[in-house]
Chain A
Amino acid sequence: MAPPANRRSGFSRRAQYTTFFSYTAGGLAVVVGLVLLGVSIARPGTFAGLRGAAADATEPAGEVTAAGRSYGKHALASITGFFTSGREHARLERELAEAKVRLVEAQAIEAENRRLKSLLHLKGMGSDPVAFARLTSSTSASARRFAILNAGRDEGLAKGMPVRSPAGLIGRVLEVGGSSSRVLLVTDTESLVPVRRATDGVPAFAQGNGDGTIRIRLINLGINPLKKGDVMVSSGSGGLYRPGTPMAIVTSILRDGAMARVLANPSDTDFVMVEHTWAPKEPPPPANAETGGH
């Protein structure tokens, strides 16, 4: 194909200046980009307000697409369910029979738990969820793993609140806007969750890998006790995440830990629950020491 048009400036002063100024403007855009990037790396929270406003503005569209996503998923599930219904029905009946027995056992354990807790005078932390909301969009074209939640300050959300689905931990609230907020998913590389093995409480850290898997790092080094199929739950140490929230299942063993898969795939969840931060920090000490003394 021939060149689309002759865009050489030739001897025309005007054309030469136009070319020159357009390149200068391009160079200026690069400089502006560098400055913005420097500011956002030095002070990551600088543009949070701007991003929050943008997320608030596009939230209706995000809700529509979220509803569309969930509808499409359900339609697909019904079609596949049509083909596998007989097998599924038999399996569910079998599982129901087992579950009924387990339920009775669980009720007994719960009663015992209540009795023991009352003996110890333990008070349950306020475990009421803050809000139920939908994940409307995510940064699926970036190496970072953020999602946008369609609830913000209007529903009482605050920075740091853990977000979970019925299946397990999803992430935590990172930036709060007026009617939307930004969630750091547990698969992000900057997310670090203190966890323990569900069965015996082997402590570890769960760090996201950025590609949907989780790296489990044991705290006590030595013989690696983890096995394939172990379920890790959040331990609640250091605050923030409520203890006992299911988080990941171990898929392969490494020398000093394991690789794991998240239990709550954020793309499979319609609604998520925002909880209060676990064990909020002590109120800061009063400004002058005299009043704090008594």
Chain B
Amino acid sequence: MPIGQRSGGAGRRNINRAPSPLLALTLPWLTILLGSMLPGWLLIASAPVLPPVGFLLFLSWRQLRPGLLPIWSGLPLGLFDDLFSGQPFGSAVLLWSLAAIALELIETRVPWRSFLTEWLVAIGLIVAYIGLCLALANLAGAGAHVGIILPQIVISVLSYPLVGRLVAVVDRFRLTPFMVVQ
């Protein structure tokens, strides 16, 4: 039997293979775009109950792979999110960009990380994000009281580790070497 066709382990199959650069570069962006649209499709809600999945994915990607998404990535991704979120247009551009800068600053100050510190940083950003979203919606004329976002904050904070796990799975898939190196 020729050596090349022998069914070996994962390591043997990975020899002479490289991840697809297209997939490796676009997958983070695609997952965030999809995450922006996902909550709208799940249910016709009469209260804000679902987490802002796009923002959670954005935070997660930036925490898992700092520098993979540039600091300005909040501009295009936020623009797309604004099309579907129902917030006043521009609020996601502003808040996602601010969150990216805040994360970058935190990471340069506190380079050592663990599950707990990352979650705590994310909790701070998520609470600030949802609160500011409500404030901006109210500024544009909504007039909703703070109580309505409390369930959403709890759900978002608790689902963040799950989103992080999902991002890790996508990251493994992204870097799976399957293109034959010439």
Contact = CB atoms under 8 A, between A and B. Distances in A.
B45 A138 contact: yes
Nearest to B136: A37
Interface string A151-171: 000000000000000000000
In terms of DSSP, what is the predominant structure of the interface of chain B? helix
B143 A189 contact: yes
In terms of DSSP, what is the predominant structure of the interface of chain A? mixed
B83 A36 contact: no
Contacts of B125: none
Interface residues of B, number: 66
Given A189-B144, A210-B148, A144 B86 contact: yes
Given A47-B89, A135-B44, A211 B50 contact: no
Contacts of B114: 1
Nearest to B76: A29
B90 A141 contact: no
B152 interface: yes
Contacts of A35: 90
Interface stretch (A54-62, A109-117, A198-206, A230-238): A54-62
B133 A143 contact: yes
A139 interface: yes
Contacts, number: 206
B71 A26 contact: yes
A22 interface: yes
A184 B49 CA distance: 17
Contact of B72 (A28, A38, A135, A187): A28
A22 B72 CA distance: 7
A252 interface: no
A30 B98 CA distance: 6
Given A3-B111, A37-B90, A141-B39, A212 B97 contact: no
Interface of A: 1-5, 7, 22-23, 25-30, 32-41, 44, 46-47, 50-51, 54-55, 58, 61-62, 65-66, 69, 135-148, 185, 187-190, 209-212, 262, 265-267, 269
Given A4-B66, A146-B86, 6 more contacts: A26-B74, A35-B90, A61-B37, A139-B85, A141-B51, A211-B46
